[in-house]
A and B are shown apart, each in its own frame.
Chain A
């Protein structure tokens, strides 16, 4: 640890000063959605567990999801999942050096946001 820290490196870690290109926003949103999904997974598992437990539990899960707030929470978690998945696919495409110039990556970031919003809206309409 000390060895790594002793190396003389320029340190500039202000996150507010530099401009945020869309690629950086796409990247941090990928990370943030991942961390929230780590917690949101509990909600999905809880719902699945309830629905699978018994016919009564299934009915209870249906009643829960008929309420606006739990339904909105489910659509929210699914929206985060959709973004994380779509951005992940973009990431893996770029791993193969496809579209890894700044211009292509910027366009890809916009496309990822666009696709995620559309898919989340479709899921929202479907579940509502």
Chain B
């Protein structure tokens, strides 16, 4: 039951699943990129662009960006609702929390735009 304006989620259960699914995607991506760097000790610009610009990696990177955005939002939301509360912040805790959440959304939005632009301009 959502009783607070800053809950901003329909379901904690979907957050739980999304947090783990996105984590799995990010872990897999990390391993792939690690493998690429390990396999190419003499890295060049052309090799790097060839790798990240390939169709499968473009799709994977796009998935990574979306997964990271979801993962970061759920994580930052959890931290905010744990600490920015009336016990520590007094009567205006909800306002502070909303402000903090707006800041997180803005940063995540910038990350998404930046990263997608970076990958898709290859």
B96 contacts which chain A residues (CB < 8 A)? none
B49 to chain A, nearest CB (A): 6
Residues of chain B lying within 8 A (CB to CB) of residue A31: 79
Confirm or deny: A22 has a beta carbon within 8 angstroms of a beta carbon on chain B.
no
Q: Does A102 contact B (CB under 8 A)?
A: no
- Cβ–Cβ contact A45 & B48, under 8 A: no
Residue A1 interfacial (CB < 8 Å): yes
Closest chain B residue, CB of each to CB of A35: B79
A95 within 8 A of B: yes
Of A5, A34, A51, A85, which contacts B48 at CB under 8 A? A51
User: In which size bucket is the chain B interface?
Assistant: 20 to 34
Residue from the list B20, B44, B115 in contact with A45, Cβ < 8 A: B115
Q: How far is the CB of A61 from chain B (nearest CB, A)?
A: 9
Contact B30 A48 (CB under 8 A): no
Kindly state the separation between the CA atoms of A48 and B117 in the bound complex, as whole angstroms: 12
By size class, the interface of chain A is: 20 to 34
Contact with B along A1-43 (1 / 0, CB 8 A): 1011100000101000000000000000001001100100110
27 interchain pairs, CB-CB under 8 A: A1-B3, A5-B86, A34-B79, A35-B75, A35-B76, A35-B79, A38-B72, A38-B75, A38-B107, A41-B68, A41-B72, A41-B111, A45-B115, A45-B118, A48-B52, A48-B118, A52-B45, A52-B48, A52-B49, A52-B52, A58-B44, A81-B30, A85-B26, A85-B27, A85-B30, A88-B27, A92-B24
Footprint of A on B, CB under 8 Å?
3-5, 20, 23-24, 26-27, 30, 44-46, 48-49, 52, 68, 72, 75-76, 79, 86-87, 94, 107, 111, 114-115, 118, 122
